[in-house]
Structure 1
């Protein structure tokens, strides 16, 4: 008997089909009948499925570098964003695809409602779609917390407080979601488990069910049909691919323009964050709550959203009514219009809210500063430690809370909030110790302005009177006064003008010589170096050591003594810690950590 020919053996494709039946499955998927032919209005479901796959893939890669704990979450996201090769692009793609999916879901819902694709026998499939809408929004909500930055932390705090408003089981549910009585590590791990495991798993289950029911009942074509029936392949597949590519191009535009996804400063439960806002697609709910203050807040937070969701779920039932389809169209249209209007109002109010705009500037400043500090190395205690020990970020906060009731810093409270001019009762400390500041201070007119002693008891003191009686008139007197300004400013030892002080060393020496004069110079009234006796002492005036000692106790004989005008003794009264005093002093002096510049970058 002849040996069988090798040509009779089945190929790899035939062998694989014999074992798996993939050709039949592929035929079922690609050659579905499309009544009336392919249309662009059918692309939204496929586009959503494509971007969910993108989310899963990017999410898995992000997971590989993410560390879900309150002490490592921000640090790991910082690593992804700023150090991992392509990490910024990966984060940006994940972030903006999530936003795109919200838009696509709304478009898909509109198409389903307009086409009446919720009607029998497709009610269950419609409800699957509503559940998927809720799950995708929940996915976005839980993902917002994971960077563990200020905006995500405080926005999540607001959203979980809304859960607690629910009557009956509200408080227990909030405790379960938060992971205890306060926000912290367990809150983050719960949200991570929901975001990376539970919710995606549920979405996959409901997508499978949604697609199964869709294939079971087929498309609901828009009447009248525009042409003969066509297969899903290739006409509709081509349209779906073009739609996916178009949305992807838009997403990539935002990813590149924004340099990835935003990352704020590390979450700080002890620091209120006025710039916290939800993502734009939740802004309408945020705005709605403003119309229900106090005890009525539950109406905007729970009652109205629940009623709207109930009507959305009931749409297939309402559609059986004679005018039901028109009602459904009107309801969805009104719902979308209302959400758009509330969103616009929220954006407009924020744009005109001076306090919020200042908070945004501070938020951006802190976010940029956190990256600068983290670039220098993150301690084992986490990046928040760096922020809390940083004069650049903490100095203005300490100043605003403790000093701004009397002082200003360049006309504001240190945080950028402008305050009434008539509330200033002590010197503006911006540039304290600099040549410009001393020049104004040693001027008979400007020392009595609001920038200096205009609102203090010292306005009628010996210093102001002396300046009024010793206005320089001759060129020699003007030169001497200028040398004194340079000499007194040099006592502050400001790093920003160290080079100038070295350049003007001759004039400074002449100024110091005049200051030491006990008959007509500064030593006539003040102690300076080894001459003079009276206070305030001018030796090292305005230096870091001098300022720290002054803030500790301005009533010390070295300073104002009994002539002190309302200045609290922050150190001796223990109202500020030694480190807080040091940070506010370093901030006023503009001396904080700056990364070293390499020689080739100079």
Structure 2
């Protein structure tokens, strides 16, 4: 090592500063608690390196941001790993800085001459949260968009400059392409450069004031190389192993790896299950204590006072009672943050409505990725247009909005929720299928809430016909009912029954004749495959097919 330093010093003039860094004695020798500075720098460098690679494939606009991240996540070799390491390292950066603050307070490493070290560390902690929030926006998915809207809205609460600052950050009155461009600039240029500068200053000051670190008198001094270097390397390897473990997610039930990519952001559709990252859940829960106009107190006043008190700790800690106060205060803050974070997580875990929103969001995200990965690819209008024109996505939403006040789908509103009011019309899950029609013609089931039980027709002709005429058939005639079921279900043309109907062509043909027969006299009320001006009940021609449903919705009468 010394030979290398001599060569480097002769060629570049850097030998002396490097030698001082490597071989100047550390008071008390190598210690694990001295690894914090190296860990913080290491995790930041991991973010920078992975971020540079991610930036080469990212496109900042509302129509290409999600799309470029989707390509990286799902179609680039090891792209999910690269994005996962970057995201989890950002979380680790915040946690390590917070723990480093706690460690400095406990060991009284913030008093003179290390006041600037502590203030720089506090500034780094604030900047780490800001760069993380800016990063939430970049995938431009539902989770990141709605989670980031909260801190962006809080900017507007700042006195005097709030509205101006909010508009300057967003780039206008609402989120547009310019918002993403500014977030990219904050996340990849301005904030990283500031953090890098502060880290450099912090590292230099840490080395400069190394002699001020409290150490037992009986421990001998040791140089950084190789004693402390080995501990730093082991600590960095351990943190990297934890990051990789979290990215790999071996506990995931769906086998997913990396970090989540939800559906493309849709400003017109609220995402009620949006939450900040786990290390910010405590603030999410804390703000609930200050509803309405008092939100300013919880979002601005109390955090500002807490930061000012933290910044004053190097001077308060000069006295023994002041140091004790600092430890108690920081302990209360950390315990409160952990407690509030756990409370928020546990409330969401036990909230069925929240879990329904999450399940629905994950289903929509999976559908978005399926559509984006289809052979036709993503149109110029962006992946959001795929969801907006997707029947499997919009159908349940329209059902919940326009149909679920009367009907149910498997007992729910189509989106997984159960309405409070009882149904006043039939349950439409499996509508048109053989199973559904068989239940409709079952004397035991037709008057249940699944069919006519909750409607105004529960005592009308159809129910009476099934419960009396069909119920009174002899055994031989009852054996013919499944053929009517097959024939009527075939009118729907369901894709799921094509093979079955191809095999049962003869049964279906016989069932059609039975519908028109005098034994069952269905056509006394219904029209079926030929005009009937005297029909008083729904037309059974094409019953439950796409065309039949379209005509019915346009003209229910």
Provide the TM-score with structure 1 as the length reference: 0.88
Counterpart for residue 216 of structure 2: 224
Alpha-carbon distance change, 146 to 46 in structure 1, aligned in 2, over 3 angstroms:
same
User: Is contact 2:101–2:118 with CA below 8 Å preserved after alignment?
Assistant: no
Matches of 1:331 and 1:338, distance apart in 2: 10
Query: Could you tell which deviates more after superposition, 177-186 or 216-225?
Result: 216-225
Deviations 1:53-72 (A, max 9, x none): 11111000000000011110
Is residue 208 of structure 1 aligned with residue 206 of structure 2? Answer: no
Residue 342 of structure 1 deviates from its aligned partner by 0.4
Partner of 1:459: helix, strand, or coil?
coil
Deviations 1:171-199 (A, max 9, x none): 11111111111122222111111000000
Matches of 2:297 and 2:453, distance apart in 1: 52
Mapping for residues 149-168 of structure 1, pairs under 5 Å:
149-168=141-160
Matches of 1:383 and 1:226, distance apart in 2: 66
Residue 452 of structure 1 deviates from its aligned partner by 1.1
Counterpart for residue 133 of structure 1: 125
Residue 473 of structure 1 deviates from its aligned partner by 4.2
Deviations 1:298-345 (A, max 9, x none): 111111111111111111121134411111111111000000010011
Counterpart for residue 53 of structure 1: 45
Alpha-carbon distance change, 62 to 293 in structure 1, aligned in 2, over 3 angstroms:
same
Partner of 1:65: helix, strand, or coil?
coil
Matches of 2:78 and 2:443, distance apart in 1: 60
Gaps of 5+ in 2: 250-255
Counterpart for residue 574 of structure 1: none
Count of residue correspondences? 544
Counterpart for residue 389 of structure 2: 389
Counterpart for residue 253 of structure 2: none
User: Is contact 2:8–2:15 with CA below 8 Å preserved after alignment?
Assistant: no
Matches of 1:291 and 1:383, distance apart in 2: 38
Matches of 1:445 and 1:425, distance apart in 2: 18
Query: Could you tell which deviates more after superposition, 491-500 or 25-34?
Result: 25-34
Is residue 194 of structure 1 aligned with residue 196 of structure 2? Answer: no
Query: Could you tell which deviates more after superposition, 272-281 or 451-460?
Result: 451-460
Residue 79 of structure 1 deviates from its aligned partner by 0.7
Counterpart for residue 504 of structure 1: 504
Counterpart for residue 247 of structure 1: 239
Counterpart for residue 419 of structure 1: 419
User: Is contact 2:487–2:508 with CA below 8 Å preserved after alignment?
Assistant: yes
Is residue 342 of structure 1 aligned with residue 336 of structure 2? Answer: no
Alpha-carbon distance change, 225 to 268 in structure 1, aligned in 2, over 3 angstroms:
farther
Residue 485 of structure 1 deviates from its aligned partner by 0.9
User: Is contact 2:109–2:214 with CA below 8 Å preserved after alignment?
Assistant: no
Matches of 1:132 and 1:18, distance apart in 2: 36
Residue 103 of structure 1 deviates from its aligned partner by 1.9
Counterpart for residue 3 of structure 1: none
Gaps of 5+ in 1: 1-10, 556-602
Query: Could you tell which deviates more after superposition, 255-264 or 147-156?
Result: 255-264
Counterpart for residue 431 of structure 1: 430
Mapping for residues 20-419 of structure 1, pairs under 5 Å:
20-225=12-217, 227-257=219-249, 258-376=256-374, 377-419=377-419
User: Is contact 1:115–1:221 with CA below 8 Å preserved after alignment?
Assistant: no
Residue 531 of structure 1 deviates from its aligned partner by 5.7
Counterpart for residue 549 of structure 1: 551
Alpha-carbon distance change, 130 to 400 in structure 1, aligned in 2, over 3 angstroms:
same
Partner of 2:417: helix, strand, or coil?
coil
Deviations 1:37-80 (A, max 9, x none): 11111111101111111111100000000001111000000011
Matches of 1:88 and 1:282, distance apart in 2: 23
User: Is contact 2:425–2:452 with CA below 8 Å preserved after alignment?
Assistant: yes
Partner of 2:523: helix, strand, or coil?
helix
User: Is contact 1:116–1:220 with CA below 8 Å preserved after alignment?
Assistant: no
Partner of 1:53: helix, strand, or coil?
helix
Deviations 1:446-493 (A, max 9, x none): 111111111222212211121122115423221111111111111111
Residue 13 of structure 1 deviates from its aligned partner by 7.9
Matches of 2:61 and 2:10, distance apart in 1: 49
Provide the TM-score with structure 2 as the length reference: 0.95
Counterpart for residue 536 of structure 1: 538
Query: Could you tell which deviates more after superposition, 15-24 or 410-419?
Result: 15-24
Give the RMSD, CA atoms, in angstroms.
Answer: 1.6
Deviations 1:186-240 (A, max 9, x none): 2211111100000000011111111222222115434434511111111110000
Matches of 2:80 and 2:545, distance apart in 1: 43
Residue 286 of structure 1 deviates from its aligned partner by 0.4
Alpha-carbon distance change, 530 to 498 in structure 1, aligned in 2, over 3 angstroms:
same
User: Is contact 1:115–1:220 with CA below 8 Å preserved after alignment?
Assistant: no
User: Is contact 1:518–1:524 with CA below 8 Å preserved after alignment?
Assistant: no
Matches of 1:477 and 1:222, distance apart in 2: 97
Query: Could you tell which deviates more after superposition, 450-459 or 516-525?
Result: 516-525
User: Is contact 1:69–1:185 with CA below 8 Å preserved after alignment?
Assistant: yes
Matches of 2:212 and 2:532, distance apart in 1: 97
Alpha-carbon distance change, 486 to 198 in structure 1, aligned in 2, over 3 angstroms:
same
Matches of 2:513 and 2:211, distance apart in 1: 95
Alpha-carbon distance change, 244 to 520 in structure 1, aligned in 2, over 3 angstroms:
closer
Deviations 1:265-292 (A, max 9, x none): 0000111111100001111110011111
Partner of 1:38: helix, strand, or coil?
coil
